[in-house]
Structure 1
Amino acid sequence: MSTVKDVISLRFKSQQADGVLVHGEGQKGDYITLELQQARLILQLNLDESKPRRGSTRSAVTLGSLLDDHHWHSVLIERFSRWVNFTVDHHTQHFQTQGEEDSLEVNYELSFGGIPLPGKPGTFLKENFHGCMENLYYNGVNIIDLAKRRKPQIYSTGNVTFHCSEAQPLSVTFRSLDSFLTVPADLGTESFSARLQIRTHSDPPTQLYSEQTVSDGQWHSLRVEMKGPQVFLTVDNQGSIISEAKHQVTSGKRPAVVLFGGCATSLPNLVCESGALGLQGCMRLMFVNNYPVNLLHVQQRTLGNYSQLDFDVCGIRDRCTPNYCEHGGQCTQSWSQFYCNCSGTSYTGATCHSRQFTYSTIPLALSLCLH
């Protein structure tokens, strides 16, 4: 199949940050891939058989951010010859493919939701998509309708259903450094554990530090365990960081209160460490001693206590998308603002917009000839 014009449109929602939505390739090296990477959509398109296959960063175009929020997002890819319009949620990027070829030759099948290996059903080259798709069209053809009617040119692999039944875990947003959430805990043994998923642009206020960053705006899993005098911190199921606890868990101290977020100074009999700071970010899938924290009961104030929280939503924003830093400036961000690092750009200012002038002194030699 060789085409000079292609139009692909769909809507999707997912809780996963990575996964292939669309893929097609040909024997001569042409390919098209649309995939989620770290909750951003990346379109890779190669029409020139002389160029390397997947992995060439020159053919990759990125749009969107925080697209694993389990909300519906729309995608439109319009290609005519080497000119491409790539649109995600009404934000469009126009680009031109590399090379001289103007047709896309897809000799193999066009797949949605993954890249299956030929001859090995259920095996995928990359992480496949987990979530829901609707309004899926390729060059005017309703792909989902063909699949529902079991047309012979369409086949599915794995767990594919025709209804979107994916349950969304409840999230809670800590919108200020004073936000907190407390829940009771039964410390019947001399050990304690808490685990959760966190999403933030700020460094968490903890005295245990891991080499893995959790302030990149992606969801990360944290687990804290206290066993006797030792505290274990595990980030994204990697190796644990071990530290000594200032206080040990004893079975005689019950009931107890577990605090998430900042210090709850408004609550009686609760003492925080000096200089303790809160967290601005989101949490979900919270467990205390392997028991889930029911955020719905917390919101209804039938469990624990809280202040300055937003329930059932993760209110994080990506302030570096779009990137307002000019002339190659690097964008970093906190919960409420972004910053531009203008190092090496020859520009300065809040958004690297002002040209830096370098003055130099050039010695001049003046000779006078008198006649």
Structure 2
Amino acid sequence: MDLWSKKVPGIIALTLSCWCAAMAGGDVCRSPLVSNLPPPSFRSSSQLSGSHGPGFAKLNRREGAGGWSPRSSDRYQWLEVDLGGRTQITAVATQGRYGSSDWLTAYLLMFSDTGHNWKQHRQEDNIGAFAGNSNADSVVQHKLRHPVIARYVRLFPLDWNPHGRIGLRLETYGCPYDSDVVSFDGHSSFLYRWSPRPRQATRTSISLKFKTLRNSGTLLRAEGRSEHSLTLELEKGKLLVVLRKGAGSSSPDGRHRLVSLGSLLDDQHWHRVAVEHHGDHLNLTVDGSTAWVQIPPGFTLWDHEQMSVGGDRGLAARGAVGSDGNFCGCLENVRYNGVNLVDLARQSDQRVTVKGNVTFSCVEPVFVAMTFTGPQSFLRLPRATGGPPPAPPGVAVALQFRTWNRAGLLLTFDLPSGGGGGAVWLYLSKAALRLRVHKPGRAPLELSAGSALNDGQWHSAALVSRRGHLSVAVDGDEGSAAGRASPSFDVTAAQLFFGGCPAEGSGHECSNPFDAFQGCVRLLTVDDQRVDPIEVQRRLIGSYGHLQIDVCGIIDRCSPNHCEHGGGCSQSWTTFHCNCSGSSYGGATCHTLSRPLGRCGGQRVGLRSNLFAAIIIIIIIIIIIVIIVVVVVWMLRSESESRGREGRRPTHRQRGRGWELNEGKRYTSSPAKRTNTEATRRGITTSTWTAAGPSDHS
């Protein structure tokens, strides 16, 4: 057997063993999570009957009616599972209702830590829908692109068998998840001091997770004797790495903004952060997006002696962002060079000093948001949503919203017919908040407030009409940002419409001459009474259409920026746009060279670039071919040499007599070999017949 033949089985065995080990490692977090849960762990929007309840929605079970089915089959139904604690989820599987024609063909998957503020899980290419089943018995399983950490799982049917109804059994797979969590109230923090003092380091690593409702605040600050410091801050929902070098910094307050990454990080979902400092460069990673930056001279050597987690006690004096510059929210697994700081703080380590109300669990308020997804989205509420006392004359509405669109209707209602009728619209136009009051026979009354309200941040809007006085305000500013007037009529309403109007024929009087609103709304109050969106979802008050409740589905399509060559990115709710005017490129992402560069002209540069790319590709192909030829020649030569050694191996003790014997057969004589050798020297090729056939000698 030649050398290659001996190596191949070993290589195959090694490959298979590595593959099996990888598969075994991947199966470590693949345990069923739903099959052993008690019935109270299951909830649903509705159920067809007691035997169709959510507790029967377990994979491969036949109890009850063989699965869950809601009272009506529409896209407002959902099934929810409480896993009992935060769990790492790696896969989900679905099945139709046993012995029926009821199954899902597509669904959405959402996760939550609290049972509120759901986050939709998206697959590759930002696709949200999961493929379901084609019958009631087969199991369709999806491995999640990235493991999800959550306690609650909620499934929303999108489509189902057209000849049946919604029917579902499901399973999720994963493993337990342990972590060290701490929460801060915006005025608290803890300080960790190294003991003994660490040596000056050229390599530093920081990692953590955080969740918050505030768009600004300081997560942590590390500092040392040389007045060098590093700070992780939130500013308008983006994460900043800030370096300081005492009073000698180039900026007036000693701050050097090194890099910014991420967006919409105040969505009350967990976000992962990692900072790696090595020599003269730094890597910042936020939720899988990484930025590499060069550290300015003078900042490369760090000698941190202490770290403040949850805030910076010196920020208030420097006028930093936030109530006092501190972080309000939850942090998880805070590690500095491998040291778990949260664990040390929880154990009351002597190196840790706690300030204020620090809780070693995630304490967070519940804000239930609503997402207006498209032009057909609307929310209708009756005037009196909070019960007694009765609403006073006039109307008062307040809410918070976030959107990327420059225009859209926030609120509309009709004026009483007894006063001549008319309508009121509160809407966005050119990214400003505007109010229009229309009354037949009179000039329209228009007010305006705010600007640049389509930046994706949360903004508050308030409309108040009391005793003939009308006002509108944005972000609590009733000064220069608010318009005021005193109309000669009271503005009252029997029912309110938010985001848009119902379809024609619904029986509701509603008109919208503007675009529908696309974005998120929360903290909605009517006449100083808070509206509970969960009651709206349960159809206890009002009505709605094409509305996602308990979720804010805003996405930043400009983070990361897909515009190339310095193109500016802007976006709406559904798409993004690249402004390539500052470069010589065009196209959807500023990728295509669109005009000449210098004397050579853009076309020549483009041709030269294409020619260079073609040459590189040809060279690579030639190199690959040469490598293949060399490997094949080496294999053939190794095989030939191996066979030659086997042919010359003596198999009989009479080899000294000039004969080579093998199994009693006469092959050749030594003189013949000598003849062939001489012929070979002369460049003549001869063939000699053996018992096995012709053998060429060169």
Aligning the two structures, in what range does the TM-score lie when normalised by the shorter sequence?
Answer: 0.7 to 0.9
Alignment counterpart, residue 309 of structure 2, candidates 109, 112, 128:
112
Matched, 1:322 2:525: no
Alignment counterpart, residue 200 of structure 1, candidates 387, 398, 403:
403
Alignment counterpart, residue 235 of structure 1, candidates 452, 474, 484:
474
State the secondary structure of the residue aligned to 1:104: coil
Q: 1:309 to 1:5 in 2, by over 3 A?
A: same
One-letter amino acid matched to 1:219: W
One-letter amino acid matched to 2:206: I
Q: 2:223·2:304 contact (CA, 8 Å) conserved in 1?
A: yes
Q: 2:284·2:291 contact (CA, 8 Å) conserved in 1?
A: yes
* Alignment-derived partner of residue 166 in structure 2: none
Q: Is the helix fraction higher in 1 or 2?
A: 2
| Displacement of 1:54 | 7.9
Deviations, residues 290-344 of structure 1 (Å, cap 9, x unaligned): 0011100100111100000011110011011111112211111000000111223
Alignment counterpart, residue 61 of structure 1, candidates 249, 259, 267:
259
Q: 2:258·2:295 contact (CA, 8 Å) conserved in 1?
A: no
Q: 2:244·2:256 contact (CA, 8 Å) conserved in 1?
A: no
For residues 571 and 373 of structure 2, the distance between their equivalents in structure 1, rounded to whole angstroms, comes to 15
| Displacement of 1:33 | 0.8
Which range moved further: 95-104 or 136-145? Answer: 95-104
Q: 1:115·1:125 contact (CA, 8 Å) conserved in 2?
A: no
Deviations, residues 246-294 of structure 1 (Å, cap 9, x unaligned): 97335xx7xx111111112343141314x23310000011100000111
| Displacement of 1:25 | 2.9
* Alignment-derived partner of residue 10 in structure 1: 208
Deviations, residues 88-107 of structure 1 (Å, cap 9, x unaligned): 11222222201155311335
For residues 244 and 320 of structure 1, the distance between their equivalents in structure 2, rounded to whole angstroms, comes to 42
* Alignment-derived partner of residue 99 in structure 1: 297
For residues 35 and 360 of structure 1, the distance between their equivalents in structure 2, rounded to whole angstroms, comes to 43
Alignment counterpart, residue 134 of structure 1, candidates 310, 324, 332:
332
Q: 2:470·2:487 contact (CA, 8 Å) conserved in 1?
A: yes
Alignment counterpart, residue 272 of structure 2, candidates 74, 77, 91:
74
Q: 1:359 to 1:144 in 2, by over 3 A?
A: closer
Deviations, residues 96-141 of structure 1 (Å, cap 9, x unaligned): 201155311335x3111111039x9x99854211000111111111
| Displacement of 1:57 | 7.9
Which range moved further: 44-53 or 71-80? Answer: 44-53
For residues 278 and 55 of structure 1, the distance between their equivalents in structure 2, rounded to whole angstroms, comes to 45
From the CA coordinates, give the structure whose radius of gyration is larger: 2
* Alignment-derived partner of residue 262 in structure 1: 500
Q: 1:49 to 1:357 in 2, by over 3 A?
A: same
For residues 164 and 352 of structure 1, the distance between their equivalents in structure 2, rounded to whole angstroms, comes to 43
* Alignment-derived partner of residue 282 in structure 1: 520
Q: 1:243 to 1:276 in 2, by over 3 A?
A: farther
Deviations, residues 137-195 of structure 1 (Å, cap 9, x unaligned): 11111111111111121112122111112123011100002200011113743221111
**TM-score, length of structure 1 as denominator length:** 0.86
* Alignment-derived partner of residue 538 in structure 2: 300
For residues 246 and 269 of structure 1, the distance between their equivalents in structure 2, rounded to whole angstroms, comes to 27
For residues 246 and 318 of structure 2, the distance between their equivalents in structure 1, rounded to whole angstroms, comes to 28
Alignment counterpart, residue 353 of structure 2, candidates 155, 158, 162:
155
How many residues are aligned here? 353
Alignment counterpart, residue 185 of structure 1, candidates 365, 372, 383:
383
* Alignment-derived partner of residue 311 in structure 1: 549
Matched, 1:40 2:278: no
State the secondary structure of the residue aligned to 1:146: helix
Q: Percent identity?
A: 37
State the secondary structure of the residue aligned to 2:398: strand
Matched, 1:351 2:589: yes
| Displacement of 1:243 | 5.0
For residues 64 and 335 of structure 1, the distance between their equivalents in structure 2, rounded to whole angstroms, comes to 18
State the secondary structure of the residue aligned to 1:117: coil
Q: 1:46·1:98 contact (CA, 8 Å) conserved in 2?
A: no
Tell me which of the two structures has the higher relative contact order, counting C-alpha pairs closer than 8 angstroms and 6 or more residues apart: 1
For residues 32 and 194 of structure 1, the distance between their equivalents in structure 2, rounded to whole angstroms, comes to 43
* Alignment-derived partner of residue 367 in structure 1: none
Deviations, residues 189-228 of structure 1 (Å, cap 9, x unaligned): 3221111110101134324332332210011111111134
Gaps of 5+ in 2: 1-197, 385-389, 410-426, 428-433, 436-447, 600-698
What CA RMSD, in Å, does the superposition of the two structures yield over aligned residues?
A: 2.8
State the secondary structure of the residue aligned to 1:111: strand
One-letter amino acid matched to 2:491: V
Structure 1 stretches of 4+ moved >4 Å: 46-50, 53-59, 122-126, 243-247, 358-361
State the secondary structure of the residue aligned to 1:110: strand
Which range moved further: 48-57 or 166-175? Answer: 48-57
Alignment counterpart, residue 529 of structure 2, candidates 267, 271, 291:
291
Q: 1:325 to 1:360 in 2, by over 3 A?
A: closer
| Displacement of 1:357 | 2.5
For residues 296 and 247 of structure 1, the distance between their equivalents in structure 2, rounded to whole angstroms, comes to 35
Which range moved further: 24-33 or 290-299? Answer: 24-33
| Displacement of 1:48 | 9.9
Q: 1:113 to 1:155 in 2, by over 3 A?
A: same
Alignment of 1:352-371 (within 5 A): 352-358=590-596
Which range moved further: 229-238 or 193-202? Answer: 229-238
Q: 1:104 to 1:285 in 2, by over 3 A?
A: same
Q: 1:59·1:98 contact (CA, 8 Å) conserved in 2?
A: no
Q: 1:11·1:72 contact (CA, 8 Å) conserved in 2?
A: yes
Q: 2:403·2:518 contact (CA, 8 Å) conserved in 1?
A: yes
For residues 278 and 560 of structure 2, the distance between their equivalents in structure 1, rounded to whole angstroms, comes to 26
Which range moved further: 46-55 or 237-246? Answer: 46-55
| Displacement of 1:349 | 2.1
Gaps of 5+ in 1: 362-371
Q: 1:28·1:49 contact (CA, 8 Å) conserved in 2?
A: no
State the secondary structure of the residue aligned to 2:450: coil
* Alignment-derived partner of residue 218 in structure 2: 20
Matched, 1:30 2:272: no
* Alignment-derived partner of residue 490 in structure 2: 248
Alignment counterpart, residue 455 of structure 2, candidates 207, 210, 216:
216
* Alignment-derived partner of residue 68 in structure 2: none
Which range moved further: 14-23 or 50-59? Answer: 50-59
Deviations, residues 12-35 of structure 1 (Å, cap 9, x unaligned): 111111111111234544220111
Q: 1:123 to 1:331 in 2, by over 3 A?
A: closer
State the secondary structure of the residue aligned to 1:233: strand
